[in-house]
Amino acid sequence: MSKAEQQWRGDISRRQALAGLGTFLAASPLLHAQRDPWPLGSHRRFMSFDEIRDVFDFEPLFRANVPLAIYDYTAHGTESEFTLYRNRDAFDWVQLIGGGGVDPNTVDTSTELFGRPMPSPIMLAPTSRQRDLHPDGELAMHRAATTTSTTMIVSNASSFPFTRIAEAAEGPLWYQLYARSDIEANRQPLAEGQEVGAQTIMVTIDQQASYYERDLHVRHTGGSVRRVARRTPNNPPNPYRVGAGRLWYEWELFDKLRPMIEVPMLAKGILTGEGAKLCLDHGVEGIVVSNHGGRAIDYGPSTLEVLEEVVTAVDGRVPVLIDSGFRRGADVLKALALGADAVCLGRASRWGLGAFGEPGAQKVIEIVNAELKQAMASVGVSSLAEIDRSIVKTNFP
C-alpha cells in the first residue's frame, strides 16, 4: 500500500467531517438562540401535575412555559447574584434537631397576626407582573390563596388593580407599596387598598437601586436590558448613573405615610437590628426581614442569618416576618425556630402559577404546609407555641 493510500485510510470520512462541522456550527455564538439555554437538569422528562412532590419540581415546567426573558425576570438577582445564592446556602447552615415522636396529623400550625387568626404562618410575598406568568395572574394567585386559607400580599406593581384582585376571591389580602417621593401621590393607592379591605400596608424600602447583569446576556431572547435615561429633573446625576426613583428613601417616610394609613404599617427590607429599632422609632408596627429575594443588594447577608439579630432588637414589640429563598417546609421551620412569626413565599408561588396556573399555585402552598407539619413532627413539636431555639443548631460563617 502506497503512502498516499495509507494516509487516505487514516483520514476522517466525509460523514465524520460533516458531523464535526455540524457540531462546530451548533456551538457557534451566532446560533446561540437555537440552543436550549435551560435543559431539564436532573429530570429526564417533565413531571405531570400528580407526580410533583416538592416545590423544585415546578421550576422546569415554569421555565418551559414562559419566554426566557420572563423566566429570567423571576430568576435573576442583583449584579453578581451572590446574595441570591446565599439565601439558599444559608439553610444548609442551620440544622434541625429534636426527638420526634409526634404524629404529623396532630400538628397544629395555627397562629395569629395583628389580631387575626391564620391556619398557618406561611404567606404569599408580594411579587409583580404575575400576568406574564399566566393570563389570570394575581387573580388566580388570590383564588389559590383563598382556597388554602393563605394570606396574600399584593404588590402595587401588579398586573391588575388591587380592587379587581380583591374581587377575585374572599381571602385575606395585604397591600405592598413602593412609596413615591411626592408623598401626596401615595394617598390615592393607599386609600383604594384600604377601602377594599387591605388588612395591613407593607412599605418596601430595600430595593434602592438594583442592576441585573443577567439581563445583559439575554438580549437575543428579547429580554429587557437596563438603559440609562437622559438626565432630567426626575433622574438627577449621581456617581452610579442610576435612576433616582428609589434613592430618596429616608426614615421620615414612615412619619409622612402614617396619617394616610389606618391599618398596621410594616417595613419590608430590614437586615439589621439597628434598622429594626429605627422602624419602631418611626411608628412601624411590623418588620419584614428581606433582601428582595437577592434582588436588593449584592454581597449582602442572607435573611436567615440576620433574623435573630432583628428579632432580638424588636424584643417582641411587633411581629417579625421573613422572606427570600424559602422553598421547603423545613426552611420555614428553621425561620420560626430563629424567631420569625411568619414566612413569605415569593418565587415558589410564581413557579406554581407559571407551571399550572391556579392549581399549581395552590399545590405549592399545600406542599410547603404539609412539609412544615412533617418537619415539626420530626423534631417533636406539635404546635407553633412549642417551637424555640432548642430545635436548631446554627453554623453561620
User: 347-356 vs 58-65: helix axis angle to the nearest 10?
Assistant: 60
Assess whether pLDDT exceeds 70 at residue 369: yes
pLDDT confidence of residue 315: 97
For 60, list phi and psi in degrees, rounded to 5: -65, -30
**Residue 131 pLDDT level (bands cut at 50, 70, 90):** very high
Enter the DSSP assignment of 382: -
**Least confidently predicted of 101-115, 155-169, 218-232, 327-341:** 218-232
pLDDT in tens, 32-77: 444 444 555 555 578 899 999 999 999 999 999 999 889 999 999 9
Is 176 in contact with 193 (CB distance < 8 Å)? no
The catalytic residue among 76, 134, 142, 292 is: 292
* Percent of the chain clearing pLDDT 70 (strictly above): 79
The backbone region for 53, taken as left when phi is positive above 0, alpha when psi lies in -120 to 50, beta otherwise, is alpha
Is 292 one of the annotated active-site residues of the chain?
A: yes
pLDDT tens digits, 199-221 = 999 999 986 555 666 766 655 44
Grid cell in block for residue 231: 438626565
> Which domains are delineated in the chain?
69-394 (3.20.20.70)
Q: DSSP secondary structure string, 96-157? A: E-------GGG-B--EEETTEEES-SEEEPP-S-GGGTSTTHHHHHHHHHHHTT--EEEETT
Q: Summarize the chain as % helix, strand, coil (round to 5).
A: 45, 10, 40
pLDDT at residue 235, rounded to an integer:
53
Contacts of residue 195, defined as CB under 8 A and 6 or more positions apart, other chains included, come to none
78-98 pLDDT, tens digit each: 888 999 999 999 999 999 998
